[in-house]
Amino acid sequence: MMTTHDMLLAAQTAREALANAGGERKAEALRCMARRLLAHTEDILAANGQDMEAARGTMPEVMLDRLALNKDRVDAMADGMLQAAALPDPVGRVLRRTERPDGLVIQRVSVPLGVVAIIYESRPNVTADAAALTVMSGNVCVLRCGKEAWRSCSAIVRALREGLAEAGLPEESVSLVEDTSRDSARELMTASGLIDLLIPRGGAGLIRACVDNATVPCIQTGTGICHVYVDAAADLEKALAIVENAKTSRPSVCNAEEVLLVHRAVADVFLPMLKKRLVDDRAAAGKRPVELRLDERAAAIIPGTAAGEGDFDREFLDYILAVAVVDDVHAAIDHIAAHSTGHSDAIVTEDAAAAELFTRSVDSAAVYVNASTRFTDGGEFGLGCEMGISTQKLHARGPMGLEELCSYKYIVRGDGHIR
């Protein structure tokens, strides 16, 4: 077995080739990688079958679904690589240019970060997505997947490395950590000087471990306790459509709504509409009804589960919605400040002043007016792709695309200039 440390040393050897590869070469590498993925579909599905076999019985059904691959999912991974290959090269752009009166030319130029490590869990497709975006941004990629997905991810990485070699880029540009114990995650977090950016993609426990222990630069991603606030001046039909979309279109993702706040002036009208649409109509249509967890004021208006301790601080990722009645937009803003994870929060209102106050005061990566929180996504935001959604404020906030995987340096050209 290759140790994690040796793998990180091997990754260093690929830095320069990748950093200087140029857009066309990197795109060609991604196309080769996609072809090899497709060519190895059978191997990948066989490896995934072993992972599934081992996981069955030890994992809930929803987790098994995240782990499972099939031909369509492998095709989708290859498609994702081709899409990334079509994006503009983020490296070498002149971001700013200053010419001083004495002729000294100062350019701020985008450069790759270097080595980007990604710790993730059981979704094998993250392997291909992350590799595509790091390579396209000129970064070396070190992947560390969950134990339960290791055979699948390893088969994917073998295919990707064949593609890299075919395109004349070092195979060390993409590697998968062989040690899937907690030790290797800890080792990545503290590999100062060998890792330029660590992106943890996973549950709150992993993110917290990174924040507490990482000595390498790290970006927090993902946890989304997203709010929709229905204002006194809301168009209630719009509000209902937005809440339904934000909660039920895909409850398992981080930009799904978890908490609904309703202004007391419209609660008597809106909450019965909500219950009809999310509970009764869905049940009648044979869809899974949403469980409403109500604070006392909401429970006085409609039936539902009494919200328990922590229900306003939980990422349900399920057909569950915590509901509270608030006095006004200020109370909504305060509630969000106290409970939001800084991912995506929305106001529904026709009142421009309330919208302005909300967008200014809510300190989240994406703040919405009259739209669903579900739009927080690299593709929807025009980045073309996404490496995760940053919920921190340093470096990158919100969806991280190719540009967010870059740094910059100043290149200064003179002719004997001294100060």
CB of 405 to a copy of itself, least distance (A): 11
Q: Can you give the three-state secondary structure of 16-60, one letter per residue?
A: HHHHCCCHHHHHHHHHHHHHHHHHCHHHHHHHHHHHHHHHCCCCC
**376 lies in the site for a copy of itself, by CB under 8 A:** yes
Q: Footprint of a copy of itself on residues 107-166 (CB under 8 A)?
A: 111, 113-114
Residue window 170-209: x/- pattern of binding to a copy of itself, with contact defined by CB under 8 A: ----------------------x---xx------------
When the beta carbons of 113 and 185 are compared against a copy of itself, the nearer one is 113
330 near a copy of itself (CB under 8 A): no
CA distance 255 to 247: 9
Bridge pairing between strands 344-348 and 226-230: parallel
Q: Residues near 260 by Cβ (< 8 Å), separated by ≥ 6?
A: 227, 228, 229, 230, 243, 247, 274, 321, 322, 323, 324
Task: Give the nearer residue to a copy of itself in terms of CB position, either 231 or 244.
Answer: 244
Single residue of 68, 365, 385, 400 touching a copy of itself by CB under 8 A: 365
Q: Which of 249, 281, 283, 296 binds a copy of itself (CB under 8 A)?
A: 249
Q: Which of residues 345-364 bind a copy of itself (CB under 8 A)?
A: 355, 359-361, 363-364
Query: Which of the residues 380 through 409 are near a copy of itself (CB under 8 A)?
Result: 380-382, 392-395, 397-398, 407-409
# residues contacting a copy of itself (CB under 8 A): 66
- Write out the two tokens for 233: 């001046």
Decide if residue 410 touches a copy of itself (CB under 8 A).
yes
Q: Does 223 participate in binding a copy of itself (rule CB under 8 A)?
A: no
DSSP 364: S
Distance (Å, rounded) from C-alpha 43 to C-alpha 152?
Answer: 9
Contact status: 277 vs a copy of itself (CB under 8 A)? no
Output DSSP code: residue 218.
B
Q: Kindly state the DSSP code that residue 248 receives in the 8-state scheme.
A: H
Rounded Cα gap, residues 172 and 139, in angstroms: 11
**Closer CB to a copy of itself, residue 287 or residue 360?**
360
